[in-house]
């Protein structure tokens, strides 16, 4: 153990021995994981349009659309085909393409989980380039994010590969 860890343990024991309430750190919740198809917005023709959270869309920012994650949630996206990954911030809603019962594509604005959705994420071109997905359009990706509910005590995460 390092000197810092010993110091923290000693300080916690001293508080406990003195009859004071000990503040034990909250254990971070494991990441929520989701796997599915990701698409990207295209050539940036929507640059400057308003996203669902009210900010201007900038295709050069690492942002993405998800149907129901809270705005400003940071997600770690991994392209398992080439092992590339990047962080991205949720600032929009989507994707909205679905497969109808007859097998054709349709466009529906909804956050329903009962639909046969095309994918789980719609990314800015900067995010798609970082993941190497601009040439293929749709790519299977793996998302990781952390529950930001008040009970978890979580504010930010750092992952070491």
- C-alpha torsion angle, residues 84, 89, 93, 97 (rounded to 10): -10
The DSSP bridge pattern shows strands 32-40 and 121-123 to be parallel
Residue among 39, 54, 50 at smallest CA distance from 124: 39
| pLDDT given at position 16 | 59
| pLDDT given at position 37 | 86
3-state secondary structure of 13: helix
> Tokens representing 47?
């640059």
> Tokens representing 91?
């600032």
Which domains, from first to last, does the chain contain? Answer: 32-152 (2.40.40.10)
Residue among 37, 65, 67 at smallest CA distance from 49: 65
- CB contact burial 81-108 (16+ within 10 A = b; e otherwise): eeeebbebbbbbbbbbbbeeeeeeeeee
Burial class (CB in 10 A: 0-12, 13-18, 19+), 49: exposed
Place of tokens 């599915």: 36
Q: Give the span between the Cα atoms of 129 and 114, in whole angstroms.
A: 31
| pLDDT given at position 94 | 83
> Tokens representing 51?
């996203």
pLDDT in tens, the chain (161 residues): 667 666 666 666 666 566 655 555 454 566 788 998 888 886 667 778 889 999 999 999 999 999 889 999 999 999 989 999 999 999 998 887 666 677 666 655 555 555 556 688 999 999 999 999 988 878 899 999 876 554 444 444 444 44
| pLDDT given at position 45 | 72
């Amino acid at each position: 153990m390092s000197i810092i860890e010993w110091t923290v343990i000693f300080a916690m024991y001293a508080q406990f021995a003195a009859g004071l309430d000990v503040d034990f750190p909250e254990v971070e919740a494991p990441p929520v994981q989701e796997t599915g198809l990701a698409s990207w917005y295209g050539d940036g023709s929507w640059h400057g349009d308003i996203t669902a959270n009210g900010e201007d869309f900038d295709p050069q920012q690492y942002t993405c659309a998800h149907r129901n994650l809270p705005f400003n949630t940071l997600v770690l996206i991994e392209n398992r085909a080439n092992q590339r990954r990047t962080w991205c911030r949720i600032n929009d809603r989507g994707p909205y393409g679905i497969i109808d019962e007859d097998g054709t594509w349709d466009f529906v604005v909804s956050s329903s989980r009962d639909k046969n959705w095309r994918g789980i994420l719609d990314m800015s071109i900067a995010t798609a380039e970082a993941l190497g997905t601009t040439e293929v359009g749709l790519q299977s990706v793996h998302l990781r994010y952390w529950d930001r509910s008040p009970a978890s005590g979580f504010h930010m995460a750092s992952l070491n590969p």
